[in-house]
């Protein structure tokens, strides 16, 4: 018996390793694993249909805490322009290091064996995921190109419209204002305003 720091309960106990068999530790462990599993499930949904988004530093820099490795890992993968959601988490959970730490964590904490396999991604899953990401990136780039073309067209049309509008204002307003100045000047301005 001696001082033992429990990273799940985030406290030092003096009951030694017998702490891990206690109700409070096992209860806390269940909560931690269920929360962790929620994130892994979300990631698993991305395997068949990866989501690519335009990178936004306020949204895509999230980290997640891996209890097994006691390590903070990037949740997404990004090149600064695009972000592939949950790709960081998926890649991490397919590494040998994560696999080893998970076995150790389960053994040390006497966690439910039935849950363990849910915290890994196999090499086959990773290969399929990579192939799907490649497709998703291709579609994303095409969509971005179309969007940029549409935006450019919109800006050109706006500019054309603005030029035509200015031209019509000059043609309509200037002769009136000069011709009837000063008495009708105010009416001339109002006329411009209502065009
Ligand atoms: Zn504990
Ligand atoms: Zn890990």
Ligand closest to the CA atom of residue 105: 2
Number of domains making up the chain: 2
| Residues 113 and 161 both lie in one domain | no
Question: How much is the pLDDT for 120?
Answer: 92
35 C-alpha to center of ligand 1: Å?
A: 16
Q: Tell me, yes or no, whether 129 lies in a domain.
A: no
Question: How much is the pLDDT for 188?
Answer: 47
Cβ contacts of 114 within 8 Å, gap of 6 or more: none
Measure the CA–CA gap between 189 and 31, rounded to whole angstroms. Answer: 71
Ligand closest to the CA atom of residue 100: 2
Name 52's bridge partners.
84
| Residues 183 and 116 both lie in one domain | no
- Residues with beta carbon < 5 A to ion ligand 1? 6, 8-9, 25
Final residue of a structural domain among 76, 105, 121: 121
Ligand closest to the CA atom of residue 93: 2
| Residues 11 and 66 both lie in one domain | yes
Query: Where is 154: in which H helix or E strand?
Result: helix 123-180
Question: How much is the pLDDT for 125?
Answer: 93
Question: How much is the pLDDT for 105?
Answer: 95
Cβ contacts of 21 within 8 Å, gap of 6 or more: 110
Q: Which domain holds residue 30?
A: 4-121
Q: Tell me, yes or no, whether 41 lies in a domain.
A: yes
pLDDT per residue, tens digit, the chain (195 aa), is 568 888 899 888 887 778 899 999 999 999 999 999 999 999 999 998 999 999 998 999 999 999 999 999 999 999 888 999 999 999 999 999 999 999 999 999 999 999 999 999 999 999 999 999 999 998 888 887 777 788 888 888 888 888 887 777 777 665 555 545 445 444 444 444 444
Sign of CA dihedral 16, 68, 101, 21: positive
Question: How much is the pLDDT for 55?
Answer: 92
Q: Which of 26, 191, 19 is nearest to 106 (CA)?
A: 26
Question: How much is the pLDDT for 149?
Answer: 80
């Amino acid at each position: 018996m001696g001082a033992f720091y429990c990273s799940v309960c985030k406290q030092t106990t003096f009951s030694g390793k017998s702490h891990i068999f206690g109700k409070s530790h096992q209860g806390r462990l269940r909560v931690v694993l269920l929360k962790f599993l929620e994130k892994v499930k979300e990631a698993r949904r991305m395997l068949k249909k990866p989501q690519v988004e335009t990178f936004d530093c306020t949204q895509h820099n999230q980290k997640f805490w891996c209890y097994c490795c006691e390590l903070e890992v990037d949740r997404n993968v990004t090149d600064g322009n695009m972000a592939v959601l949950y790709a960081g988490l998926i890649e991490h959970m397919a590494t040998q290091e994560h696999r080893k730490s998970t076995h150790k964590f389960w053994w040390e904490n006497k966690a439910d064996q039935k849950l363990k396999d849910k915290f890994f991604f196999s090499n086959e899953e990773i290969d399929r995921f990579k192939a799907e990401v490649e497709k998703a990136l291709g579609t994303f780039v095409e969509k971005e190109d179309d969007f940029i073309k549409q935006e450019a067209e919109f800006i050109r049309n706006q500019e054309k419209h603005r030029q035509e509008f200015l031209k019509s204002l000059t043609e309509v307003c200037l002769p009136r204002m000069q011709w009837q100045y000063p008495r009708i000047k105010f009416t001339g301005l109002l006329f411009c305003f209502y065009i």
